Amino acid sequence: MKTWLWCGALFFARAACGAEADVEVFKHPAAGHVLLETVLSEPSKNLVHSQVLQGRFAHRKFLSEIQKPLTASGEFTFARELGVYWHTQQPFDSVFILTPRGLVQRDEGAETLRLSADDQPAVRVIANIFLALFTLDLTTLDVAFELFGVKQGERWTIGLKPKSGAVASVFSQATVSGAAEVEQIVLTDKHGDRTVIDLQAVVPTSAPASAAVRALFKR
């Protein structure tokens, strides 16, 4: 169970310069509705109408026992009500689809993992959390996390610390940062290892998901 939870967590994640921001943000606790009215007032307005977000990602995983980070890159599609389609293109081809109904992973075109939220209720919990990150759904996140937030100019950072042991087994804390949209998310586990993902060239769309986007989620 822990293995696939960690795979799901790899979706969302600031590197060396982010460490100081991580420390600073956790000095500023705030309720979700307060963050929406202050730190996240502008980005939340932009994202509330977005039905689809598409862009590229650069992923780095920093492990204490390895000098250089493990890296990967690819493209992603987030569709409200559908989920996240995560396509790693380098250094290998892998597709990870996370929806409220469950998750599917395909490596080099062959299905290697499939989990149903009906059989594994924790899948639905993790899916709801990560889907909420894309749209800064603080109502959902406030239930599962202690929240923190700071803002400097147009840039903002929010911090999350899990309230439950189940989520804490995936990561001990997370930071999400950006300007108009979510740009970076950092996940830190209890051992101090960090997962860092930069979301790049993100294009929001207010129209409902097209047939081409919906086709990505057919399983």
H or E element in which residue 21 lies: helix 18-25
Containing domain of residue 24, as a range? 2-216
Identify the pLDDT of residue 7.
Answer: 43
The number of folded domains in the chain is 1
Contact 36, 47 (CB under 8 A): no
Identify the pLDDT of residue 5.
Answer: 40
Contact 76, 57 (CB under 8 A): yes
Q: At what angle do helices 121-135 and 41-48 cross, to 10 degrees?
A: 110
CATH number at 181 reads 2.50.20.10
- 206 secondary structure, DSSP code: -
Per DSSP, what are the bridge partners of residue 73? 58, 90
Identify the pLDDT of residue 84.
Answer: 94
Identify the pLDDT of residue 92.
Answer: 93
Identify the pLDDT of residue 124.
Answer: 83
Low-confidence ranges of the chain (pLDDT < 50): 1-20
Q: What is the 3-state secondary structure (H, E, C) of 123-187?
A: HHHHHHHHHHHHHCCHHHHHHHEEEEEEEECCEEEEEEEECCHHHHCCCCEEEEEECCCEEEEEE
H or E element in which residue 208 lies: none
